[in-house]
Amino acid sequence: MSAFLQDVSALIEDYCGRELLRREGATFALYPQGGPALPIPLRYRTRLTISAVHQDGAVVTDYTHRGTELVRDAHWLGQLVTVTGSWGHTPAPAGLVAITSAEVIRWLALSPGVESERVGEVEVSFAGAGTAQALSGAARASLRPYRRPTAGTLNLAAKRVWE
């Protein structure tokens, strides 16, 4: 069961595009393109506290953390920047716990290889050999408030040209 909890949690974080569970004393890498601002990916921004910043192995202290970026007067040169800190929710939001629990229960209710079952008129669908566990449509819909906005998505309305 703990493996299912870990798997569902990982799928939720991947789907949402951000780390939702708390990471303590972990590191992530940033790749500067030059200039004074170094953007922090959304994945790490949730309640981020930074304990250390290194660039090319040297400690960096002349930076300012502005929530979405690290700013430095000396500019960030092309060397790899490693950030050590903690981020994510603690405790996990109750909504995420409920979604995770519901998905694990759904996975446990299905027999191995069975994709879905129906009681009325007894219908069973079997998954192909290469399919793995995935988040249900209901879980994906419930995760919308936690999901990172997708850049470049357009909402286009169809227009009738014959009017």
Among 47, 137, 42, residue whose Cα is nearest residue 99: 137
pLDDT at 52: 97
> Residue ranges per domain, the chain?
22-87, 92-146
Q: Looking at the predicted structure, is the pLDDT value of residue 85 above 50?
A: yes
pTM: 0.66
pLDDT at 118: 67
Pick the CATH number of 22-87 from 2.30.30, 2.60.40, 1.10.10, 1.25.40: 2.60.40
pLDDT tens-place string over residues 101-124: 999 998 888 666 666 666 777 766
Question: Which residue bears the tokens 């309640």?
Answer: 47
Residue 84, classed as helix, strand or coil, is: strand
pLDDT tens-place string over residues 31-84: 998 899 999 998 899 899 999 999 988 999 999 999 999 999 889 988 899 999
Question: What percent of the residues of the chain are helix, what percent strand, and what percent coil, each to the nearest 5?
Answer: 25, 25, 45
